[in-house]
Amino acid sequence: MDKLLKGIMKYRSNIKENMVKQFVQVKDNPKPKAVFFTCIDSRMLPTRFTQTNVGDMFIVRNAGNLIPHSQHFLDELTTNEPAALELGCVVNDIRHIIVCGHSDCKAMNLLHKLQNVDFASKDNRRISPLRAWLCTHALSSLEKFQQLEVTDYSKPLIFQAETPLRKFVAYIDPENKFNIEDKLSQINTLQQLQNIASYGFLKKRLEKHELHIHALWFDIYTGEIYYFSRAAKKFVIIDENNFDKLLSEVERYYS
């Protein structure tokens, strides 16, 4: 709390005035451009590494940047994530949904351990909300990872895109730069796009290309950010060499 309170005082001195000006600008007519799902990891600072400002994005954070599949919900039983999708994409007419995973994700590290039957037992899930959360909503990612593991990580995976008839191919870490838990994290990030597309209230907008879903992945040890390129069929680093190519792809696929 000492650090937090000192930070607030620093904010009052250095940042508050400019931020209030931004609040005034967007007060009556904010026009956010994206719903951004990411992990609660304290090392993830999405507004900083995207350099976005007040009013630019809705940000939703949870352990493992998961968006539960619609099959888990009956009647009015739901959680924050689909409510955020409705608030952002239906109520506020936002056209872009971004899921951002990251390296050394503690939730994904734990998910990898859940391949152990005893570790994932019902008794252990009863005493661990995190294990229960992952066993309920992330096993589809683990299953995809196990498909890849069988092929020694060399074959592509197939994911559903915006509609059941639209698919995309993904090679996971073809340069073999990352450890197995990070490979799982990248798979999990792509799996969430499939989960998002399962919601009926988004169906028409997805079919009409009025709503678009994207995947980012952040390497916390190098500070590099990767974009999943459907053209390249893999996560591609966003840098000076790739920027124009990625921008053209985004404009072509998602404009």
**Average pLDDT of span 183-188:** 98
**Average pLDDT of span 76-90:** 87
So what's the pLDDT on residue 108? 98
Q: Is residue 11 in some structural domain?
A: no
Range of the domain at 50: 31-69+78-254
Using CA atoms, how far apart are residues 170 and 148, in angstroms rounded to an integer? 11
**Average pLDDT of span 60-81:** 84
Angle, CA of 46, 62 and 171, to the nearest 5°: 70
CA nearest neighbour of 136 among 145, 126, 151, 146: 126
Q: Is residue 2 in some structural domain?
A: no
Contact 227, 238 (CB under 8 A): yes
Q: Is residue 20 in some structural domain?
A: no
What type of residue is 157? Answer: L
Contact 213, 97 (CB under 8 A): yes
Contact 171, 156 (CB under 8 A): yes
> Tell me: the pLDDT tens digits for 49-59?
999 988 999 99
Contact 45, 75 (CB under 8 A): no
CA nearest neighbour of 216 among 15, 37, 77: 37
Using CA atoms, how far apart are residues 121 and 132, in angstroms rounded to an integer? 10
So what's the pLDDT on residue 124? 74
Residue 72 in this model has a pLDDT that exceeds 90: no
How much is the pTM?
Answer: 0.92
Residue 75 in this model has a pLDDT that exceeds 60: no
So what's the pLDDT on residue 10? 92
Q: Is residue 21 in some structural domain?
A: no
Confidence band (pLDDT; 50, 70, 90) for 74? low
Name the domain count of the chain.
1
β-strand 212-219 against 96-102: which pairing, if any?
A: parallel
So what's the pLDDT on residue 79? 80
Confidence band (pLDDT; 50, 70, 90) for 77? low
Q: What percent of the chain has pLDDT over 70?
A: 98
Residue 236 in this model has a pLDDT that exceeds 60: yes
Q: Is residue 206 in some structural domain?
A: yes
Sorted by sequence, the CB contacts under 8 Å of residue 85 that are 6+ apart come out as 35, 67, 97, 196, 199, 201, 202
Sheet (strand 96-102) strand order: 57-62, 34-39, 96-102, 212-219, 224-229, 234-237
Reported in sequence order, the residue ranges of 15-104 that DSSP labels E, i.e. its strands, are 34-39, 57-62, 96-102
Residue 208 in this model has a pLDDT that exceeds 80: yes
Structure tokens at 103: 């390296």
So what's the pLDDT on residue 205? 95
> Tell me: the pLDDT tens digits for 11-58?
899 989 988 888 888 877 778 999 999 999 999 999 999 999 889 999
CATH number at residue 157: 3.40.1050.10
